[in-house]
Amino acid sequence: MVTPDFTNINLDKLVTHHIGNKLLEEGIILSEQVTDIDKSSGDYLLKYFLNAFRPEEFYSFIHPANISMNEIYTIAQRIFSDRSRFIDDSQQIARLLYEYSTHPKIKQGELNIALFSEAILGDEVVEAIGIFKSENDAAFIKMEESPINYSIRHEFGFELKGIDKGCIIFNTSAESGYRILIVDNTNRSAEAVYWKDDFLQVAPVSDEYYQTNQFMGITKNFVVKKLSEDFEVSKADKIDLLNRSVEYFKEHGNFDKTQFENEVFQQDNMINSFRNYNDSWLSENGKELLENFEISPQAVKKQARAFKSVLKLDKNFHIYIHGDKELIERGTEADGRKFYKIYYTTES
């Protein structure tokens, strides 16, 4: 997996604009010059811009007709080829974002357009464009010393833990929409799509991270939501299937769909049910997945958190199942009470 390295990255240019909510007629304020940056604040600013990104899933620009019609893509091309118009191009980006800021819950804020050099992506040293929106400022206390006492006051600013919305466009793979990292820490509901889907118009790159992430997600949904419709299975059986799925991805370096189906689902009728669900899901969502690909450990680690191995019994017991389901037996007493019998060798 190609990973970015920001160790030696330089912030060459920065322009800051103010973006309001168009629906609320808050307007925009466009800067005519580059932003002044205090020398001692440079490292903090880089940390603020870059720390929120998780270098796992890459995106690229798309457009339903032709990628050249994606406006941010064409502006990025101009910036990479000619830095002299950077302020004008940053203003155009600001205007576009304002046009898409039409949901009533979208907050006004500062938009920073940055031009970086010396970013490393895999074995390439490339330029990069950063588009960062800061929406949620916070109060902080300043304690100032004088010869006889302290004075205390407060100011408002943005926390260094990371920007609210952002993207970094790396100057590589231009013909296929560049390589892009995305972050959106403020909204995960309906209004959030304007940043990624409407303004940027990006889609995940179909690399090993994407393939692994998607296939594990399909498997989990099949076991949790669909399996009970076709077969009589207990929760313990479902947990066992989920555990076998995760173990397959952890133990293999490369994915083979037929091998996976045989090792995890084992029975022909269950394999056929999974194949039908997989094909239906891909068709409904307009996705394509490979039957053989290199497994991404980062994607496995992320998805494994969602594979629950806890069997909850009323409000009294939680049973964590991590291994052989043959060591747990399910039954019903003559009086109707349900039970699980658990076999073990050692107690710790």
pLDDT digits (tens, 9 = 90+) for 99-117: 999 988 899 999 999 999 9
Report the percentage of the chain scoring pLDDT > 70.
88
Contact partners, residue 2, CB within 8 Å, separation at least 6: 58, 121, 122, 179, 207
| Residue among 130, 289, 126 nearest 200 (CA) | 130
152 has pLDDT over 60: yes
320 has pLDDT over 60: no
Contact between residue 85 and residue 78 where contact means Cβ atoms under 8 Å apart? yes
User: How confident is the model over 278-282, as a mean pLDDT?
Assistant: 93
212 has pLDDT over 90: yes
For the ranges 31-45, 141-155, 175-189, the one whose mean pLDDT is highest: 31-45
pLDDT tens for 245-262 read 989 999 999 999 999 999
Mean pLDDT of the chain: 87
Q: What local confidence, expressed as pLDDT, does residue 29 receive?
A: 96
Confidence of residue 138 (pLDDT cuts 50, 70, 90): confident
150 has pLDDT over 60: yes
Q: What local confidence, expressed as pLDDT, does residue 162 receive?
A: 77
Q: What local confidence, expressed as pLDDT, does residue 286 receive?
A: 84
Contact between residue 34 and residue 15 where contact means Cβ atoms under 8 Å apart? yes
Confidence of residue 1 (pLDDT cuts 50, 70, 90): low
Half-sphere exposure of 330 (CA within 13 A, CB side): 9
Contact partners, residue 260, CB within 8 Å, separation at least 6: 245, 248
Token duo for residue 307: 């594979």
Q: What local confidence, expressed as pLDDT, does residue 154 receive?
A: 74
Contact between residue 62 and residue 193 where contact means Cβ atoms under 8 Å apart? no
Contacts for 201-206: CB closer than 8 Å, 24+ residues apart: 201/61, 201/62, 201/63, 201/70, 201/72, 201/73, 202/59, 202/60, 202/61, 202/62, 202/167, 202/177, 203/59, 203/60, 203/62, 204/57, 204/58, 204/59, 205/57, 205/58, 205/59, 205/60, 205/179, 206/288
| Residue among 66, 23, 88, 330 nearest 342 (CA) | 330
User: How confident is the model over 268-280, as a mean pLDDT?
Assistant: 94
